[in-house]
């Protein structure tokens, strides 16, 4: 029984790690998009 519990905990930890990695990547993509839109906005203001 202890082995099964350890395996379940390890699996949950792996899933949590993968989930946080995916969330981090998604957050990075969002931040990158926000930076790009800000740069575009600054270029438009500079041209006007």
Q: What pLDDT digit, counting tens, does each position of 1-48 carry?
A: 788 999 999 999 999 999 999 888 888 888 888 889 989 988 888 887
Determine if the pTM surpasses 0.95. Answer: no
How many folded domains does the chain comprise? 1
- Output b/e per residue, 33-44; b: 16+ Cβ within 10 A: eeeeeeeeeeee
pLDDT at 8: 93
Buried b / exposed e over 3-26, threshold 16 CB at 10 Å, is eeeeeeeeeeeeeeeeeeeeeeee
Look-up: residue for tokens 């998604």? Answer: 26
Q: 37 is in which domain, residue-wise?
A: 1-48
């Amino acid at each position: 029984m202890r082995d099964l519990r350890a395996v379940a905990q390890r699996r949950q930890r792996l899933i949590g790690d993968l989930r946080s990695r995916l969330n981090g990547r998604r957050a990075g993509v969002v931040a990158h998009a926000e930076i790009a839109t800000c740069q575009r906005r600054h270029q438009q203001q500079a041209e006007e």
